[in-house]
Structure 1
Amino acid sequence: MAQPMSITKSTQPCPSKGTDPMRFATSGIAVLLVPLALAAQSPLLLPALSDANAGESRPDGPSPPAPESIEVTQLPLPPTTVNEEEGGCSVEVNPRRTGCIGQLPNLLGGNFLPDHNHVVAAVEFKGAPAAPDPASIYTGLQLILVKADGTTFANGDPWKCITCGVPEDQQIGRGPTMEYPQAFTDGTRVLAGTDIIDCAPWQLSSPECTPERTYIFPIRWNVQPDGSGPGGNIRELRKHPDDVHLGYNSMSFSGATISQFAYFARLQFNPSPTTGIPLAPRYDLVNVTRLHNPNSSSLVMTDGDKIRMNYEAITIGELRGFSGRGNEVTYIGYPWESCNMDVFAVDLTTGKVRRLTSHPEYVDPVDISPDDQWVVVEDTRSTGRQMFLSAMRGIPPIIDMVVTGAVSSTRNNGQRRFFQPWMIDRYGDRGTYFGQQINAAGDGSPGSINDPEWNARADPKWSLDGTRIVYSQQITLPPACGGINPLPCPISTEPGGRVERLMVAHLSSRPPVAWQPVAPVSDIVPWGVPYEPGSSASRPIAVEERNYSMVGEISGSAEIKIRQNREKTYVVSVAVTYQNFSNDGDNVIAGMEEVSVRYPTPTTVHLDWDSNLTSTGISYSTKKSSPDGFHLEIDMMTNILEANGTLTTTVDGITYLQPANGT
């Protein structure tokens, strides 16, 4: 067995293992220079969810903000080599011999350093010469800094590789990915994947931050009572603004289904561990809380044979980050309207839930501004991608007990995302206000900032002064185009045919916000469940098998039939019949909807869906399946839609059709 390794750094800026303030927690389940002045609403204008049915967490906001001027520019990246073989990054491609990326650099955009002038990102270097050539260090997945102010580093490059050439004994236990790179506010460290890259006491952007002074420390979550083993699976890590705490998700497979919970923990540097793998300097996750409230975890509540909606429920499906000052955790949760996936926020102390978005399209990546006044999301709301499922408003989320996984998965076509970046004020979607698309200006021509073939990738990030937003994009690639796919593949106009790019939106009319450091919060989340190593988590079925009824808050009723699998471990079918049902007074639902589910594999969902719904009130809408039903099968890990039959929603004469199979 490897012996523990100890390390001492001159001024290691680690969370102290001394006195903790208090303790907090949470719960879980199952992203050119052009002036831009846009309409402050989505082009898909639909009746919004009225405030009457939004719950106490959806306050009446002020009048929507006026559209503002935004300039979108592209950040520089390392030179692109077409020849990705050894030595392909020649002096002709990069005269400075500081590395090249391939046409598909696996770009992972991050956030700004606290100076607002540098952005962290991960890229995969290609074509490096063989060792011992000094340029051989520019290979594989690495973290870089990119200049965001038009200047260059001392060597003339507008970018700098932070991890290239880090000695092997300074990166023991390094993880395989660099997802969601997030700079700490001290400017010396970056969270990337399941590692923390540390150059303290030197600023990452300074000449003093060299590979010899850089360390890559793995993050370990202990899940064994005796502290042994490699630690638990952690994914989708998000740093808290206090630089001391971390939010993350952990997925597990049980029988035919996938389960996921979110967690909140303190980062504690361990310079010389004696148990667990790796036995090398690392960050341990301590005082861990499962972000799950057993007493308030179901939106669909039962009382005998009655069902009602509980909009105060904390239903964290996947943690997505934190608010600007860190008082709230953001997440994708159980929908408040059927088939409408939204972003929510819950207060870490009080458990108060806010719905941040309500547009019927799909949203996932989200970041709240440092002053908590604005939200940037990446959403399909300009594409119509999800409208065949969700355009009819005001349907309570009853069938969502079985359809949510599949509905969420139709947002993509494999690796092709349909996200675009949108900016919304703190009061969220309301009325006909659905925010301002950040990159809508331009003529839509190939390579323009609003070229529909370039789609956003998680996560967009605010600068600490609130004046800029950084996001990354990827162009449509095979098999989402070309071959048997009827969509022809676009040709990239980027240097070397590069198919990914890093963009910055400049909110040029805004004065900078004076950012103040966030004091460390408590480890304790009062409504969460403290995690004990070795303990397991499961979600009891919130709704038992039987027939139910539900009374509309304004009018009408619904008859509901729930059926479970033979082992009584999950719901397999839901049938609902509505009679003049209204929870909001604006949308009156009539008709029936029935869906059954099976899981050919733990990640594959097959739905048999019959729908014949009508909505009257502020709009006339229908949601109908074909006579033989709508039969959808989709793998939640690959997101390739395959369906027989149709499901079509029409709103005031506008018809929304499902995407063709494989598109």
Structure 2
Amino acid sequence: MHYLTGSALILGSVFFAIQPVYGSQDSTQKSLTPPPSPEPIVVTQLPLPPVTPNSQPGSCTPNINPHRTGCLLQSSQIQSGNFLPDDNHVLVSMNFSGAPAAPDPASIYNGTQLIIVKTDGDAFPNGDPWKCLTCGVPAKIKVGSTELTPYPQAFLDGTRVLVGNNIVDCGSAQLASPSCTLDKIHIYPIRWNDKLDGSGPGGPIRELRLHPDNVHLGFNSFTFANGQLGQFAYFSRLQFNPSPQSGEPRTPRYELVNVTRLFRASNPAPVSATGNRLFLNESALAVGELRGFTGRGNEVTYVGNPVESCNMDVFAADLSTGKVRRLTSHPEYVDPIDVSPDDRWQVILDTRGTGRQMFLSGMRGIPPMVDMLVAAVVSSTRNNGARRFFLPWLLDRDGDRGDYYGQQINAGGDGSAGSINDPNWNAGADPKWSHDGTRIAYYENMVVSPACGGRNPLPCPDSTEPGGRVTRLMLATLTSREPVRLEPVAVVSDEVPWGEPYVPESAIPELSLPAPGNYILKGKVSGVAHVTMIEDMARSAIETIAVTYHHYSDDGVNFIEGSERVSNTPVSLTINRVNWYSNLMSTGKEVATKKTSPGGFHLEIDTLTNIFDANGTLTTTIDGKVWTQPANRT
């Protein structure tokens, strides 16, 4: 964020679960089309390699895997990706462990590798329902490559996969075919040049997403300035260079060319000031973290600046026009998103339904004033370390609106241990649509220590999965849908008019934020907010924001009274210490309060580790329902 970013096992089915309303909807999300009715969804589990209990060489014995094609370490987690073009295989990045030592032929099944898993109940010629694509690739064939995780994404030619910062290539052979053999696999690194002379290892890239035209790629890159961690998103063209003459690694590689930073200083800012007046722009092009693209590739999807305080949402922006759509507005946290190939649907991973973020975001209609200091902190509370609280949700194109908050994809279980909606299992990014729009692949991980047990008051559950593994691969089938057949997506322009072409070694852009001072923010419907922004002692950044609301309303539904004051002191590049004092009340469609304990709410959290550790309380009450913060370290 800128503000600092053999056969399938049938488990259950879903034919219900529209999310109950948590507060009213803001007026910017008017109903565009009537919300869809719930539809039948059958959730199945796809097979994975057998499990070894430890990583000792040889622990993956022939008794565990008679085919001698590798084992998954009991405590490790997978990362699933999208479907191959035939829709009969799903990509998975996983860690093989316990292989015997060389020269045993089974020694190649070791370390992080890319596999494909059958979705149709069939098997490969050796009898396995999965096939390792990269096991045994010699070092000379993968010079300069990095770990084969996360986010495996298949190209539509069926011969290549983007995974991590690499492209796995099987030449002219289809990845799932018997002709794709080890001797044909190459692993090429991806490099972004950040030097004028083309030297060096290239710039740091993360969260890579393949554009549907299979020619362009979006990515994010962290920045470090003024003692703060930041991030910008970029759009680029993939170009293969078989014989680079500069830069490292000096090996065949893919290069990111014609790179555009999805930010332009001259674009309207989310919060701006003219004199002593503040103005909010909900349509501002503020791409915090790029999450992908819509199905036909016309829009980029991203986590953006909040429209309502503490409410983190995903947005879409047209690559040509810059027109912005707010896709979600539920007060819980959303991050991963995948849009269906025909652009009519989206699957998101969201904490909605868990109550995780409601103590922060449940009260609706508060403008995002303190968020200029706390957006990164709010985002960090969504996890408990490695444990995510994500659930998979199905939404139509227009997203949240009115009383429609989508359909929980895995709501059809009974909540028991190992069921499809066992609360001790949570989804991991990214869910992916099949190319025909009838299925969704996602993976889940079970809560393990230290997110439970030991100092943590939450007891650790026992896994009911084969071999006691703590990860699983899921397939949701939308049984009433007919397959869609679409023409390939046309190659889009390299140019993003509202972005700025990237120039190596150029200065990191500065964000346009109001200067320290006293301001007035007028409600769109009624009332006013008095806002004070105070610098730190070094006069290098805004440290404190204080707001007093007087019958403030942007939607004519929620009317805000009271005051809020937040200070944020950076402890390090990734650790923030927040002192929060809130005494807010909302009247109108709902009666709500957002209050801290008498001494305030004090939170110190690392944006990379996400361990909640607070003193004092912050509590939101909505129509009598009380939402409290999680216990420390849970």
TM-score, normalised via structure 2 length: 0.98
> What do residues 131-183 of structure 1 show as CA deviations (whole Å, max 9, x unaligned)?
11111110000000000000000110000000011122211101134110001
Specify which of 445, 452, 463 is matched with residue 481 of structure 1: 452
User: Could you say what secondary structure the match of 1:401 adopts?
Assistant: helix
**Once the 2 structures are TM-superposed, how far is the Cα of residue 47 of structure 1 from its aligned partner?**
2.8
**Once the 2 structures are TM-superposed, how far is the Cα of residue 298 of structure 1 from its aligned partner?**
1.9
For residue 143 of structure 2, what is the aligned residue in structure 1?
172
Query: Aligned pair 1:97/2:78, yes or no?
Result: no
Specify which of 577, 580, 602 is matched with residue 606 of structure 1: 577
For residue 10 of structure 2, what is the aligned residue in structure 1?
33
Specify which of 393, 400, 405 is matched with residue 422 of structure 1: 393
For residue 11 of structure 1, what is the aligned residue in structure 2?
none
**Once the 2 structures are TM-superposed, how far is the Cα of residue 30 of structure 1 from its aligned partner?**
4.5
Specify which of 512, 521, 539 is matched with residue 550 of structure 1: 521
**Once the 2 structures are TM-superposed, how far is the Cα of residue 251 of structure 1 from its aligned partner?**
0.3
Q: State the alpha-carbon separation in 2 of the partners of residues 62 and 247 from structure 1.
A: 30
* Match runs of 1:153-172 below 5 Å: 153-172=124-143
Q: State the alpha-carbon separation in 2 of the partners of residues 246 and 569 from structure 1.
A: 35
* Match runs of 1:200-349 below 5 Å: 200-296=171-267, 298-349=269-320
**Once the 2 structures are TM-superposed, how far is the Cα of residue 583 of structure 1 from its aligned partner?**
0.5
**Once the 2 structures are TM-superposed, how far is the Cα of residue 570 of structure 1 from its aligned partner?**
2.4
**Once the 2 structures are TM-superposed, how far is the Cα of residue 322 of structure 1 from its aligned partner?**
0.4
**Once the 2 structures are TM-superposed, how far is the Cα of residue 297 of structure 1 from its aligned partner?**
5.0
**Once the 2 structures are TM-superposed, how far is the Cα of residue 568 of structure 1 from its aligned partner?**
4.0
For residue 181 of structure 1, what is the aligned residue in structure 2?
152
Aligned residues: 631
> What do residues 404-433 of structure 1 show as CA deviations (whole Å, max 9, x unaligned)?
111000000000100000000111111111
**Using a 3 Å threshold, how does the CA distance of structure 1 residues 640 and 574 change in structure 2: closer, same or farther?**
same
Query: Aligned pair 1:448/2:425, yes or no?
Result: no
What letter matches 2:23 in structure 1? Answer: P
> What do residues 361-417 of structure 1 show as CA deviations (whole Å, max 9, x unaligned)?
000010000000001000000100000000100000001001111100000000010
Contact 2:291/2:301 (CA < 8 Å) preserved in 1?
yes
Query: Aligned pair 1:576/2:547, yes or no?
Result: yes
Specify which of 11, 21, 24 is matched with residue 48 of structure 1: 24
Q: State the alpha-carbon separation in 2 of the partners of residues 418 and 660 from structure 1.
A: 15
**Once the 2 structures are TM-superposed, how far is the Cα of residue 516 of structure 1 from its aligned partner?**
1.8
Q: Which piece of structure 1 moves more, 34-43 or 238-247?
A: 34-43
**Once the 2 structures are TM-superposed, how far is the Cα of residue 59 of structure 1 from its aligned partner?**
5.1
For residue 488 of structure 2, what is the aligned residue in structure 1?
517
% same residue: 59
**Using a 3 Å threshold, how does the CA distance of structure 1 residues 557 and 83 change in structure 2: closer, same or farther?**
closer
Q: State the alpha-carbon separation in 2 of the partners of residues 569 and 447 from structure 1.
A: 51
**Once the 2 structures are TM-superposed, how far is the Cα of residue 567 of structure 1 from its aligned partner?**
4.4
User: Could you say what secondary structure the match of 1:174 adopts?
Assistant: coil
**Once the 2 structures are TM-superposed, how far is the Cα of residue 41 of structure 1 from its aligned partner?**
2.2
Contact 1:38/1:437 (CA < 8 Å) preserved in 2?
no
Specify which of 481, 491, 499 is matched with residue 528 of structure 1: 499
**Using a 3 Å threshold, how does the CA distance of structure 1 residues 530 and 624 change in structure 2: closer, same or farther?**
same
* Unaligned stretches of 5+ residues in structure 2: none
Contact 1:47/1:432 (CA < 8 Å) preserved in 2?
no
Contact 2:12/2:44 (CA < 8 Å) preserved in 1?
no
Contact 2:243/2:251 (CA < 8 Å) preserved in 1?
yes
User: Could you say what secondary structure the match of 1:122 adopts?
Assistant: strand
For residue 84 of structure 1, what is the aligned residue in structure 2?
55
* Match runs of 1:431-442 below 5 Å: 431-442=402-413
For residue 437 of structure 2, what is the aligned residue in structure 1?
466
Q: Which piece of structure 1 moves more, 68-77 or 532-541?
A: 532-541
Q: Which piece of structure 1 moves more, 293-302 or 618-627?
A: 293-302
**Once the 2 structures are TM-superposed, how far is the Cα of residue 33 of structure 1 from its aligned partner?**
2.2
For residue 599 of structure 2, what is the aligned residue in structure 1?
628
Q: Which piece of structure 1 moves more, 254-263 or 458-467?
A: 254-263
Contact 2:380/2:607 (CA < 8 Å) preserved in 1?
yes
**Using a 3 Å threshold, how does the CA distance of structure 1 residues 225 and 350 change in structure 2: closer, same or farther?**
same
Contact 1:367/1:375 (CA < 8 Å) preserved in 2?
yes
What letter matches 1:400 in structure 2? Answer: D
For residue 128 of structure 1, what is the aligned residue in structure 2?
99
Contact 2:2/2:230 (CA < 8 Å) preserved in 1?
no
Q: State the alpha-carbon separation in 2 of the partners of residues 170 and 429 from structure 1.
A: 47
- The Cα RMSD (Å) is 1.3
> What do residues 441-489 of structure 1 show as CA deviations (whole Å, max 9, x unaligned)?
1111110000000000000000010000000100001011111211100
Q: Which piece of structure 1 moves more, 27-36 or 490-499?
A: 27-36
What letter matches 2:261 in structure 1? Answer: R
For residue 20 of structure 1, what is the aligned residue in structure 2?
none
Q: State the alpha-carbon separation in 1 of the partners of residues 173 and 145 from structure 2.
A: 21
Contact 2:235/2:262 (CA < 8 Å) preserved in 1?
yes
TM-score, normalised via structure 1 length: 0.94
What letter matches 2:581 in structure 1? Answer: D
**Using a 3 Å threshold, how does the CA distance of structure 1 residues 297 and 156 change in structure 2: closer, same or farther?**
farther
**Once the 2 structures are TM-superposed, how far is the Cα of residue 619 of structure 1 from its aligned partner?**
0.4
* Match runs of 1:369-448 below 5 Å: 369-448=340-419
What letter matches 1:161 in structure 2? Answer: C
User: Could you say what secondary structure the match of 2:450 adopts?
Assistant: coil
**Once the 2 structures are TM-superposed, how far is the Cα of residue 35 of structure 1 from its aligned partner?**
5.3
Q: Which piece of structure 1 moves more, 270-279 or 246-255?
A: 246-255
Q: State the alpha-carbon separation in 1 of the partners of residues 400 and 111 from structure 2.
A: 42
Q: State the alpha-carbon separation in 2 of the partners of residues 212 and 564 from structure 1.
A: 61
Query: Aligned pair 1:109/2:80, yes or no?
Result: yes
User: Could you say what secondary structure the match of 2:571 adopts?
Assistant: strand
Q: State the alpha-carbon separation in 1 of the partners of residues 15 and 273 from structure 2.
A: 45
* Unaligned stretches of 5+ residues in structure 1: 1-26
What letter matches 1:48 in structure 2? Answer: S
User: Could you say what secondary structure the match of 1:549 adopts?
Assistant: strand
What letter matches 1:61 in structure 2? Answer: L
Contact 2:265/2:511 (CA < 8 Å) preserved in 1?
no
Q: State the alpha-carbon separation in 2 of the partners of residues 266 and 565 from structure 1.
A: 41
> What do residues 209-260 of structure 1 show as CA deviations (whole Å, max 9, x unaligned)?
0111000000000000000010000000000000000000000222321111
User: Could you say what secondary structure the match of 2:73 adopts?
Assistant: coil
**Once the 2 structures are TM-superposed, how far is the Cα of residue 49 of structure 1 from its aligned partner?**
2.2
**Once the 2 structures are TM-superposed, how far is the Cα of residue 39 of structure 1 from its aligned partner?**
3.6
**Once the 2 structures are TM-superposed, how far is the Cα of residue 40 of structure 1 from its aligned partner?**
4.8
**Once the 2 structures are TM-superposed, how far is the Cα of residue 294 of structure 1 from its aligned partner?**
1.6
For residue 475 of structure 2, what is the aligned residue in structure 1?
504
**Once the 2 structures are TM-superposed, how far is the Cα of residue 302 of structure 1 from its aligned partner?**
1.1
User: Could you say what secondary structure the match of 1:33 adopts?
Assistant: strand
Q: State the alpha-carbon separation in 1 of the partners of residues 113 and 258 from structure 2.
A: 31
Q: Which piece of structure 1 moves more, 182-191 or 540-549?
A: 540-549
Q: Which piece of structure 1 moves more, 77-86 or 420-429?
A: 77-86
**Once the 2 structures are TM-superposed, how far is the Cα of residue 308 of structure 1 from its aligned partner?**
1.5
**Using a 3 Å threshold, how does the CA distance of structure 1 residues 178 and 37 change in structure 2: closer, same or farther?**
closer
Q: Which piece of structure 1 moves more, 172-181 or 338-347?
A: 172-181
Q: State the alpha-carbon separation in 2 of the partners of residues 30 and 646 from structure 1.
A: 22
**Using a 3 Å threshold, how does the CA distance of structure 1 residues 662 and 177 change in structure 2: closer, same or farther?**
same
What letter matches 1:176 in structure 2? Answer: E
Q: State the alpha-carbon separation in 1 of the partners of residues 154 and 539 from structure 2.
A: 45
**Using a 3 Å threshold, how does the CA distance of structure 1 residues 83 and 624 change in structure 2: closer, same or farther?**
closer
**Once the 2 structures are TM-superposed, how far is the Cα of residue 104 of structure 1 from its aligned partner?**
2.4
Q: State the alpha-carbon separation in 2 of the partners of residues 240 and 71 from structure 1.
A: 29
